Amino acid sequence: MLIKTLLILLALIGLAVPIAASLGWLGLILQWTDSPMPLHRAISDMAWQTSTDFLLVAIPMFVMMGEILLRAGITERMYDGIVKWLGWLPGGLMHSNIGSSALFAATSGSSVATAATIGTVAVPQIKKRGYNESLFLGTVAAGGTLGILIPPSINLILYGLLTNTSVPELYLAGFLPGFLLALLFMATVVVACMIKPEWGGEQLRHTWGERLRALPALIPPLGIFMVVVGSIYAGLATPTEAAALGVVASMVLATMNGKMSIDMMRQAIEGTMRTTAMIMLIIIAAVFLNFVLSIIGLTQALTDFVTGLGWSPMQTMLMIVAVLILIGCFMETLSMLLTMAPLITPIVVALGFDPVWFGILLMVLLETALITPPIGINLYVVQGIRKGGPMIDVIRGALPFVITMFVMLALLLIFPQLALWLPSLVY
Amino acid sequence: MGGADVLPSPHRYSLRFPDMLDKLFNGTRTLSLWMTWLAGTLIVLSAFLVTLEVFLRKAFNISLGGADEISGYAFGVATALALSYALFERGHIRVDALLGAIPKVLHPFINLLGLLMLSGFALVVVVMVWSMVGDTLDNGSRSITPMRVPLAIPQIPWLLGWIFFVFSGVLIALVAIRQYVRGDEAGVQNLIGVKSLDEQIEDETV
């Protein structure tokens, strides 16, 4: 049953059948072959409950917030502002790439949007200031992945939904690892530039006066971040309510910057609804597949199989991490999250690991997947912005950051408190 | 707003032989766009409603009550209304990692298979939802909340969105088959192919 399921899934996904249809048909096929009951009758109820779930209302709202902020005219000023604060470090603008990505990621759930937006502002600086092109492109690709981990992350909401884990708790857990990873990325740049000083390009000196004058440019994204994440952490709002606040706040910001218009909102809406419809269709199919898998006992069989191998929990966890890194080389992140989380989380919990902690570990694995070849969407996004030059430059430039991510994974495995300490203060 | 030639998408389907099928296709596509604008407006309104609720609750300790329930329905309806637009925009994710290993000649068939499987799954949902909405109407079901909303009000537009999604899928498949027969490979790719990276980047940025 296990092998059959895996083969059908691989065949469907390999034939480029849309992920939603792959998951849905896998559920339908399994219920015909393995279940005496007509499980498909439950689809209507599941589709309705999932479609109107207040928790998931956060998805279109966070997407919309990001779409509006993208058009609110804050990115370039934010980038310049961060340059003034971080430009003196060895590696100069590369730190601004990571810092801006972290800040932009905090307000936008999309890694592609983060890498594309920061990349568009940053890439022209490579030649102007004499950076090592490869490493510079790597910082843009890697920085863009931070959106998955730093709250408010849509991926964490999806993980919470599929594994019955509290989303506010996940958001608290993601906070420290997210910013630690951003710091580790910056440390990677510093180390690289100490080994090869000629990679570092021009270091930019700014006075404290310039820095202070740059602060107002950082207030909008920080303000939005405070409104959204702060209201969740302060217990003022649920994630969905915070997302609603974020939409309103971003509309206010766009209005203040003179960017608000019917045309702008129309574009934001089209982007939002295209993404939302795509995600929700996959979720409905994934919820149905989950239900079928647990009724026919496959989830249990898989858990029994893995725990029956007689490995220690840590050995099993390392195996899971290795398998997920491998899968991440070939699969797009959203599909990977929605297929893997429901299958693997029960195993992990049965081994005695904390599901909140595993959620964070999984996010770092998804981030890794974004910049590991051959299928790492951020690599392609950065290559696309650059227009010209061999792809291998970007892959090579991202490699140090893949290693940094491995370090982050190791840190999470050795010190689970990194993720669990903040939630433990509150819950 | 006229026909498809004013659609904002840069990858619009080009018309060579306007006929009934094209008219139907363009009309459906335009309608899907209008439905998406309506859907997005519902989300924006929900955001304001929920914000108001949070504000009143924290500042004055007044609860409107039901903002969560109403925005849940608005979300469900909005998603269903936008399903078809995402299909026209080829927004439903596919993993094309292995497509490179398959001969190019076969790609139109694989793309068509993907589309039909997506529409087929949606059809299963529609059939099941149809009987659920039938039950809702027969029983006059209301939500089990203080608001006691008649469930038919959100469920009917929600079902219509799903039906429109299946209809759009079949229509796109028909046009794609016709273009294939006419030897218009680029047209088939624009209708049902996997989006290229440049198109994806264009989608995600301003």
Nearest residue, CB atoms, A380 vs list B51, B95, B197: B197
Q: Does B85 sit within 8 Å of A277, measured CB to CB?
A: yes
Q: How confident is the model at residue B3 (pLDDT cuts 50, 70, 90)?
A: very low
Least Cα distance to B28 among B201, B179, B169 occurs for B169
How far apart are the CA of A278 and the nearest CA of chain B, in angstroms? 5
Task: Please report the pLDDT score of residue B18 as a whole number.
Answer: 59
Of chain A, the end-to-end C-alpha distance in Å amounts to 39
Chain B contact for A53 (CB, 8 A cutoff): yes
Asked if the model's pLDDT at residue A109 lies above 80, the reply is no
Q: How confident is the model at residue B8 (pLDDT cuts 50, 70, 90)?
A: very low
Chain A residues with CB-CB distance to B169 below 8 A: none
Helix ranges restricted to H, A87-205? 93-107, 111-122, 125-129, 133-144, 154-163, 167-195
Task: Please report the pLDDT score of residue A137 as a whole number.
Answer: 92
Mind listing the pLDDT tens digit for each residue in A295-343?
A: 888 888 888 888 888 889 999 999 999 999 988 887 778 888 988 898 8
Asked if the model's pLDDT at residue A39 lies above 90, the reply is no
Please tell me the least confidently modeled range out of A11-20, A32-41, B193-202: B193-202
Nearest residue, CB atoms, B110 vs list A15, A19, A285: A15
Task: Please report the pLDDT score of residue A354 as a whole number.
Answer: 95
Chain A residues with CB-CB distance to B81 below 8 A: 273
Please name the amino acid found at residue B35.
M
Q: By the 8 A CB rule, do A168 and A139 touch?
A: no
ipTM of the complex: 0.88
Q: Is A216 exposed, middle or buried (0-12, 13-18, 19+ CB in 10 A)?
A: exposed
Chain B contact for A380 (CB, 8 A cutoff): yes
Q: Does A61 sit within 8 Å of B92, measured CB to CB?
A: no
Q: Does B72 sit within 8 Å of A43, measured CB to CB?
A: no
Q: How confident is the model at residue A138 (pLDDT cuts 50, 70, 90)?
A: very high
Chain B residues with CB-CB distance to A237 below 8 A: 54
Residues B83-94, mean pLDDT to the nearest whole number: 91
How far apart are the CA of B140 and the nearest CA of chain A, in angstroms? 17
Chain B contact for A20 (CB, 8 A cutoff): yes
Mind listing the pLDDT tens digit for each residue in A360-391?
A: 999 999 999 989 887 788 888 888 888 778 88
Chain A residues with CB-CB distance to B8 below 8 A: 266-267, 270
Task: Please report the pLDDT score of residue B155 as a whole number.
Answer: 93
Q: By the 8 A CB rule, do B183 and B99 touch?
A: no
Chain B contact for A9 (CB, 8 A cutoff): no
Interface of A with B in 117-176 (CB under 8 A): 117, 120
How many pairs of residues across A and B have Cβ atoms under 8 Å apart? 233
C-alpha neighbours within 13 Å on the C-beta side of residue B136: 20
DSSP string over A223-285 = HHHIIIIIHHHTTSS-HHHHHHHHHHHHHHHHHHTT---HHHHHHHHHHHHHHHHHHHHHHHH
Residues A190-205, mean pLDDT to the nearest whole number: 81
Asked if the model's pLDDT at residue B13 lies above 60, the reply is no
Residues B117-134, mean pLDDT to the nearest whole number: 94
Task: Please report the pLDDT score of residue A322 as a whole number.
Answer: 92
